Amino acid sequence: MIAPFKKTEMVDTTPNEDFAQIAVKFPFRILVAEDNLINQKLIRNIFELLGYKIDIAANGIEVLEALKRKIYDVIFMDIQMPEMNGYETTRIIISHRNMTRPIIIAMTANAMQGDREKCFEVGMDDYVTKPMRVDNLIKVLHNWGEKKFPNSLYI
């Protein structure tokens, strides 16, 4: 027998009109670096709930290739990825970009003492833990959105 779906803290399934307005207020071009297919689908659904269409890269090499094709405002960077991890990818982005580089937000299940600091040491700008919670994601988007789009208003 299959257990019924349980509502989790990760995604509030209750519709909220204000969610879709976040992408209108803060029109970020977002790249998500995540190697796990299930997490990719979940993260895409969360961002769609907020009104964003995101691009996804499965590892650091794909992130660097995506940056050659398109300008992104924000990269949500998984730390543990195959081929090239989030730390190494961040170092390369920072070394090859000028002051207009994307905002890099660590997205990791590593929540031990010192993990957050290590992300900042390599040059990441912010940090969210997985499993990703919609309320935490909204806070991060608001924080960086207010800095990048200071005069934006809800429509």
pLDDT (tens place) for every residue of the chain, 155 residues total? 333 333 333 444 444 546 778 899 999 999 999 999 999 999 999 999 999 999 999 999 999 999 999 999 999 999 999 999 999 999 999 998 666 789 999 998 876 778 888 999 999 999 998 888 888 899 999 999 998 887 765 44
Whichever domain contains 69, its CATH number is: 3.40.50.2300
User: What is the structure's pLDDT at 102?
Assistant: 95
Distances (CA, A) of 155 to 18, 20, 23, 130: 11, 11, 11, 31
User: What is the structure's pLDDT at 152?
Assistant: 60
User: What is the structure's pLDDT at 28?
Assistant: 97
Tell me if 8 is assigned to some domain.
no
Segments forming the whole domain that contains residue 89:
29-147
User: What is the structure's pLDDT at 15?
Assistant: 45
Tell me if 122 is assigned to some domain.
yes
Pair 59, 33: CB distance under 8 Å? yes
What total number of domains does the chain contain?
Answer: 1
Given CA atoms 35, 38, 39, 40 in this order, what sign does their dihedral have?
A: positive
pTM confidence score = 0.83
Tell me if 153 is assigned to some domain.
no
Tell me if 84 is assigned to some domain.
yes
Residues 6+ away with beta carbon under 8 Å from 42: 10, 11, 132
Tell me if 14 is assigned to some domain.
no
Tell me if 36 is assigned to some domain.
yes
User: What is the structure's pLDDT at 89?
Assistant: 96
Pair 31, 74: CB distance under 8 Å? yes
Tell me if 44 is assigned to some domain.
yes
Tell me if 34 is assigned to some domain.
yes
